[in-house]
Amino acid sequence: MSVELLETVRRIALEAGALAADLRSEGVSVAASKSSDVDVVTAADRETEALIRALIAAERPHDGFYGEESDAAAGSSGLVWVVDPIDGTVNYLYGTPAWAVSIAVGELDPDAAPDAEPTASWRALAGAVYAPSVRELYTASAGGGAWLERLDRESGAPERLRVNPNPTLAHALVGTGFSYIAERRAAQGAVLGAVLPRVRDIRRGGSAALDLCAVASGRLDAYYERHINPWDHAAGALIAREAGARVAGLHGAPATSQLVIAAEPGLFAELHAALVDAGIGA
């Protein structure tokens, strides 16, 4: 099933990415704001999600859907699609290339609470993160590894992804991100101030999905972020895991909106300890 789902995820991500890129070339209009007046939704977010939802419904009418821009829907198949039509919307708004379509599908835990985040206890089966501006497509399936297709190369075969081997915290390049709510940003800045002296350097790309793929591809050694949504990390977390990363929250908890940490397992332990020391769970 994972192989079949992966092909569907891949095809839909490419089609949605093409639409989002076309809409970007026509100009961006802000349709609304979300958590604050600087956390925006564009008309392209909504149009791209509508396309993704329609394509999924046409092929998988009995699956559930959980997206950023439209109401969730329960399905009858036990599978759910978790979708961010444009992850990195502010980058998209400003014309910065680091934005992506993120699509994942997984098997729901039948014992999960009805209001639980779908990715907190699901079994991810397939995922794709497509960055149209640089024509890079990341994909993974459960047990099938993580892969990068560079679509700007005529004959380039997919590349198997592996996390950087045996990095230490002191030599780690670490990605993170920040909320658009001022109070949360202040707390995140305080944690960052404590972590920064203990690592090689910090990067803030603006797309959680792409940051997780960067861990998978070795462009980052690790990534952590608080207050992100399931659609931000669903596909990227699977891709990072299949590339050899450990992806989890604090003290063995699953990766949720409370916290996502992704790194090679040994580095994960070091970064986890540094984040606890910095008071991230306080």
CB 102 within 8 A of CB 95: no
Nearest to 119 by CA among 161, 70, 84: 84
Structure tokens at 5: 């789902």
- Start-end of H helices in the chain: 2-25, 43-59, 89-94, 182-195, 208-217, 230-242, 265-277
Strands 222-225 and 173-175: parallel
Tokens of 84: 């961010």
Instruction: Please tell me the distance from the alpha carbon of residue 168 to that of residue 163, in angstroms, as a whole number.
Output: 13
Amino acid at 226: R
CB under 8 Å to 88, separation ≥6 — which residues? 96, 98, 99, 100, 205, 206, 207, 209, 210
- The answer to the question of whether 86 is labelled as a binding residue is yes
Q: Is 87 annotated as a binding residue?
A: yes
86/48 Cα distance (integer angstroms): 8
- Reported as half-sphere exposure (CB side, CA atoms, 13 A), residue 223 has a value of 36
Count each helix (H run) and each strand (E run) in the chain, helices first.
7, 14
- Consult the annotation and say whether 211 binds a ligand: no
Q: Which residue numbers belong to the known binding site for Mg(2+)?
A: 68, 84, 86-87, 232
Binding positions are 68, 84, 86-87, 232
